[in-house]
Amino acid sequence: MAASAAAGWRVDVSGGTAWNAATPLIIRQEGEEPLHLIAQYSTRPLADVPYYAVHGLIGLGFGR
Residue 59 has pLDDT above 80, yes or no: no
The answer, as to whether pTM is greater than 0.75, is no
pLDDT on residue 3: 47
Contacts 24+ apart (CB under 8 A), 1-8: 1/60, 1/61, 2/61, 5/60, 5/61, 5/64, 6/60, 6/61, 7/59, 7/60, 8/58, 8/59, 8/60, 8/62, 8/63
Query: For 2-57, what is each residue's pLDDT tens digit?
Result: 444 556 788 888 888 777 788 999 999 999 999 999 998 877 666 666 788 888 87
For residue 59, what are the CA distances in angstroms to 14, 31, 45? 21, 64, 41
pLDDT on residue 6: 59
